[in-house]
Structure 1
Amino acid sequence: MRAMPPPGSRVVFYSRFSSSRQKQTSIEGQERLCVHYAAEKQWVEVNRFSDAEKSGTTTMGRAGLFEMMASAERAEFDVLLVEDIDRTSRDAADMHKIAKDLDELDIVICTVANGVVTDIELAFKAVQNKEFIKQTVFKSKRGQELAVSEGRMSGSIPYGYRKVHKLDAKGEPINGLREVDAKKKAIVIRIHTEFDAGRSTLEICAGLNADGISGPKGKDWRPGALLGNRHGGIGILRNPIYIGEYHFRKTSRRRRKGRMKTRFTAQSERMITQHPELAIIDQDLWDRNQARLAENVDRPFHTKRKVEYVFTGKVSCGVCGSSCIVSDGKYVCTGRQQKGICSNPRRVPREAVETSIFDRIKVHVLNTAVAGPALIAFREEVERARADHAARAESQAARLKEVDQQVANLMVQLRGAGETSFASQLLLEELERVGAEKRRLEQQARRAAPPPPVSGDVKAIIGSISATLDDLHQALQVDDAEAARAKELLRGLITRIVLEPKPGSVVDGRGAGDITVTVEGPMAALIDLAGLDVDRVAKDGHRPMFGLDNATYVWAFSYPLLWRDPRLATVRADLPILARLLDEADVPVSMAGMAKALADAGPTAGPDADRSPEQRARNAVAYLQAQGFTRCVNLRGPDTGYVWNDRGLSDAEWKARIAEPPMTHTIPVMRLVPPEAVVVVVGPPRSDDAE
């Protein structure tokens, strides 16, 4: 045992308090005791060190302790004075290490309570502090569980709620009370509704930031605030508090190598209480969003990309079976474009395919011959589903009554058992099992019954479906939540689209040519549109009304899609003008001369006639050159131009004409070329037998 340091010894003070619930005056009080004790011993104070709001169970993050140990290494003091030894550490290993290091530096540890610290006192205090920590943790958890069982909450306040300030009968504040924040409630509903409408979390955050709405911490919104963690049930899209369900013990903490490690607990380890008054989101909306979140859990990264077009991922090539993607606004085969294994050069405009499919569905599927029998079958199926739901609901209600009685009986038995008895433990385990069954039955009871079958005659229902289909197609034109939800609904109508070159058709150099489109889809998804209110899609979302299996009734049809490059139509409209110009020309016609003639003639009726005269001239000349009707006479100057191949003059003769004076009299019209016309016959292919 070391002797008490003599008067004149250099002394430093070390003070600490553990949490923010304590006050800074705790350190001041400890230092005041140290000053008084040092004055009694006639020691000379050389420094003071402290750590505020730092736990004694670890040395991590305790800057004051590290500074004190560094000062000891520099031999700046002889005595370390603390109020009690637990101020240095409450961990046995850390406490012994600090004492050992100071002893090697010939520094004495003294406490205001007991003077010089001995080895026996150090060992006893280490065991005492360890047990103190265990008891503190146990009592804290017990108090938190009691508060949760009384309807209060522990931990931080989730976004959308605020703390309730209330006093008990003794005038003491009641902690853990929450209520809905009306302003933030609207934001939570907006986030869930837009996510249900098909928008990505990045788009939702961008919209909130653009509207000047602050995030949970007062900063900009980020996807992490919405997604949280799927194991922990945190994040605005995953926290069950938004349906009135509070989960306690979602995490557990364990210290490892001086650091506190946090892990998410299993569902069975959590304590769950119901708070219907705190529910913000409807159960149906919540279930749909959880289903969408679950879809992204184990999918490969490339499949998680946002669906850009209504039929993305559903279109394939009829030649090689590869998928078709949109490139420059047109569907192209990836087998040809990216792999070089396909002979299909077709490039078909996406909008033309989408529009034709919706139009053909109304013609080939939405008629009494095809949809009529399906509607009758679905009505029968819906009636059976409603009857089954009613029977299950009655059985579940009876079982729920029994479970409620079991819970009440267990609670009575639990009150009579001791807190630490073996019987109490068994009763708690049984109560947890029965409680889990009760929550499952209550969740099933909240499920709504299938709606009644669509009323009205077959023609009226088909007309309603057709009108809804038009409304959804029109909703795609706007880039908002309604368009995103409409896109998801329309995607559900189609399972497969195959684009195949039409046999015997000609394809031009740009991939334009006739194709055969084959479309397949579930009849249930179409009939489901009969009960859809399109105006409420973006607000409330939509889910299948009948819950019928999409595979029970499938439709499929094929049709020809006649596609020509619109630039060719403009070229054909411009050819008569340029042909007349070439017929009347005594010298080669330059590109500028052709563009001027087209500009003077005005726009044509072609679908691509909004192009500039220069572009139209280049396209027309390219067509004439490719067909071999014209050739270029290169004069290396502004007179370079084009002439008919059948004029019978060589390039040298054309060049000679350039030097001749121009003719002044009017040349009569020698030949007129009428616009070309294409006649397309659409119908079933004629077999050889029909000939």
Structure 2
Amino acid sequence: MTYNVGIYARYSTEMQSEASIEDQVRVCERLIQGREWQSLKVYSDQGMSGSTHLRPGYQNLLEDARKGRFEIVVAESLDRISRDQEHIAGFHKIMQFLGIQVFTVSEGLISELHIGLKGTMSALFLKDLADKTRRGLEGRVRQGRSGGGKAYGYRVLKGDERGGREIIQEQAETVNRIFSEFVIGMSPNQIAHGLNNDQVPGPSGGLWRDTTIRGHIKRGTGILNNELYIGRLVWNRQRYVKNPATGKRVSRRNGIDSEVIHDVPHLKIIDDALWQSVKARQRAIWKATEFDVNPDKTPPYWTQRRATHILSKRTFCNHCGGSIISVGKDYLACSNARKLKTCSQNKSIRRPDLENVVIDLLKYQLMQPAAVSEFITEYNNEIKNQRSTVSKERAKQEKYLRDIELKLSGLYDAIADGLRGAGLQSKIDAMENGKAELISVLESAAPATVSLHPALADLYKEKIGKLANVLKDPKICDPAKLLIRELIARVDITYNGTHWDISIKGEISALVSLAQNAKSPPKGGLNHYALVSSTKVVAGVGFEPTTFRL
């Protein structure tokens, strides 16, 4: 009787030659020769690990086995079929159930004994290989070399410097752009959109995505979280484990004590101040409790949504204290009145009208020309005082330098006349060092000081007059809104039957009062003043501000 045979062959990595499949098939066919067997079909998987059963060739082998296409399976060795103990045992059970024998060139007919021993040996081999690979990578990282993977902004060196990195200047400029735009308030989505519009290739040569920029803060992934940009090479921050059900890798955070950190200052792209600014904004976006308690969990998307309007989550009902919410397109109303029916203030207000009050406040009342002129005068007076202080200090240093030169000249003349003494040379050396330091200080250019032009008030008024148009510009509207929101703590509104009373609290009110009534901030500084002050706007039709008071 002639038996049909299914041959299975596999190699693990792309670094192995495709000829490996042919070699395995050849030795399997040699086993078949001289027996009453015939090769029916070859099932193969190229560049796939034996630790997963999600292999196309392997799955086709199982499918044809269930259809009764062959009676015998032949492979070079048992670990070609699988290196996973569970999978190889399951495969053997299926073949036994279907009445199919399994032969390998190395072991012959496979029995339960082979399954137990070879399965264990294969599993130990994988673990030992992983440990040795990890040990080798750690050694490379401790030498400042690449531990695997590519980082945007760098190229990996080859040859004698294999494993080293060097900065790609063009990509480094893009990294700086991403960090700078994020700091001024742009979202990763907006940054990616801008890069794609400017046809800047992404890390893989394709389009930029917001996830590439955002990444995961605690895991150190993404452009904004890669510490290599500040000259710190971090390795072994996370590990990957394979889900036995799906065969897919899942990342897990390692403990801090498992991390390997090596300073590589020559690879620094981002300055420390810009990096810290990015981290500060990330902390402000994430909920602190969620971020600290469960760093591997991303907060719900609604907790990270950026405010789309100037007064989002800043407006309250002055009648009951409830939040003012959106009740339709461009309309706002008291949440307690609309949802709970516990407030009598049912009237709604148009969002653009309310925002125009704040914009008008900035446009016309933030700083009066007289206040700006006073500020310019005081600033220039302070600059003059600083210049005077610097000039006096420089004159002292020049006089001290002349004194040192005079003393040195006398000492050199004395030596020329034959004077010798203990410690004379050391004294001359000390004076020469002092002279060199003074020359270095005096030669370094004094920092330039900028005087504000007296026409700044008119220019300022012109720019502020364009504020409404600026807020419509998609490129800078979000950073501008963010800055305005930082000036506002809360806005309380009440409808009194004829018009709306609008009370604005926060730093903006202090600035308005400062412009109207003061030449200098009160004691405690602007922030202290802002916490205890407010500006009331009584607005009727058109919401033109008419009065401002504390």
Structure-2-length-normalised TM-score: 0.68
Asked whether the 8 Å contact 1:161–1:178 carries over to 2, the reply is: yes
Match in the other structure for 2:126: 133
Distance in 2 of aligned mates of 1:683 and 1:233: 49
Structure 1 residue 198 corresponds to structure 2 residue 185: yes
Partner amino acid, structure 2, of 1:486: A
- 1:88 corresponds, among 75, 78, 81, to 81
Match in the other structure for 1:39: 33
Larger Rg: 1
For structure 1, which segment, 193-202 or 41-50, has the greater mean C-alpha deviation from structure 2 after superposition? 41-50
**Alpha-carbon distance, 1:331 to partner:** 8.1
- 2:208 corresponds, among 221, 231, 235, to 221
Partner amino acid, structure 2, of 1:306: R
- 1:53 corresponds, among 47, 52, 55, to 47
Distance in 2 of aligned mates of 1:103 and 1:119: 11
Q: For 1:139-159, what per-residue CA distance to the aligned partner results, in whole angstroms no more than 9, with x for missing partners? A: 111111111111122332133
Asked whether the 8 Å contact 1:10–1:44 carries over to 2, the reply is: yes
**Alpha-carbon distance, 1:332 to partner:** 5.3
**Alpha-carbon distance, 1:136 to partner:** 0.8
Match in the other structure for 2:541: 564
After superposition, residues 262-411 of structure 1 pair within 5 angstroms as 262-266=250-254, 268=256, 269-298=258-287, 302=302, 304-324=304-324, 333-334=333-334, 338=338, 341-343=343-345, 347=349, 348-357=353-362, 359-362=364-367
**Alpha-carbon distance, 1:233 to partner:** 1.6
- 1:65 corresponds, among 58, 61, 65, to 58
Q: For 2:74, what is the secondary structure of its paired residue?
A: strand
Asked whether the 8 Å contact 2:188–2:210 carries over to 1, the reply is: yes
Structure-1-length-normalised TM-score: 0.55
**Alpha-carbon distance, 1:217 to partner:** 3.6
Distance in 2 of aligned mates of 1:101 and 1:333: 68
**Alpha-carbon distance, 1:25 to partner:** 0.9
Partner amino acid, structure 1, of 2:253: T
RMSD over aligned CA atoms reads 4.5
Q: For 1:99, what is the secondary structure of its paired residue?
A: helix
Distance in 2 of aligned mates of 1:468 and 1:273: 49
Q: For 1:362-404, what per-residue CA distance to the aligned partner results, in whole angstroms no more than 9, with x for missing partners? A: 359969999x9xxxxxxxxxxxxxxxxxxxxxxxxxxxxxxxx
Structure 1 residue 477 corresponds to structure 2 residue 469: yes
Change in Cα spacing, 1:476 to 1:22, as seen in structure 2 (3 Å) is farther
Match in the other structure for 2:19: 25
**Alpha-carbon distance, 1:71 to partner:** 3.1
For structure 1, which segment, 100-109 or 227-236, has the greater mean C-alpha deviation from structure 2 after superposition? 100-109
Match in the other structure for 2:488: 494
Change in Cα spacing, 1:210 to 1:283, as seen in structure 2 (3 Å) is same
* Count of paired positions: 450
Distance in 2 of aligned mates of 1:343 and 1:51: 72
Asked whether the 8 Å contact 1:331–1:350 carries over to 2, the reply is: no
Match in the other structure for 1:381: none
Match in the other structure for 2:196: 209
Q: For 1:237, what is the secondary structure of its paired residue?
A: helix
Name the % identity. Answer: 25
Asked whether the 8 Å contact 1:523–1:555 carries over to 2, the reply is: no
Structure 1 gap segments, 5+ residues each: 1-5, 169-173, 373-454, 508-512, 530-546, 567-606, 608-679, 685-691
Distance in 2 of aligned mates of 1:212 and 1:683: 49
Structure 2 gap segments, 5+ residues each: 288-298, 378-448, 516-523
Distance in 2 of aligned mates of 1:199 and 1:557: 30
Asked whether the 8 Å contact 2:492–2:504 carries over to 1, the reply is: yes
Distance in 2 of aligned mates of 1:119 and 1:346: 79
Q: For 2:261, what is the secondary structure of its paired residue?
A: strand
After superposition, residues 411-490 of structure 1 pair within 5 angstroms as 471=463, 474=466, 477-478=469-470, 479-490=473-484
For structure 1, which segment, 339-348 or 122-131, has the greater mean C-alpha deviation from structure 2 after superposition? 339-348
Match in the other structure for 2:222: 235
Partner amino acid, structure 2, of 1:51: D
Asked whether the 8 Å contact 2:337–2:345 carries over to 1, the reply is: no
Distance in 2 of aligned mates of 1:266 and 1:472: 51
Q: For 1:158, what is the secondary structure of its paired residue?
A: coil
**Alpha-carbon distance, 1:202 to partner:** 2.6
Distance in 2 of aligned mates of 1:75 and 1:193: 64
Distance in 2 of aligned mates of 1:130 and 1:499: 70
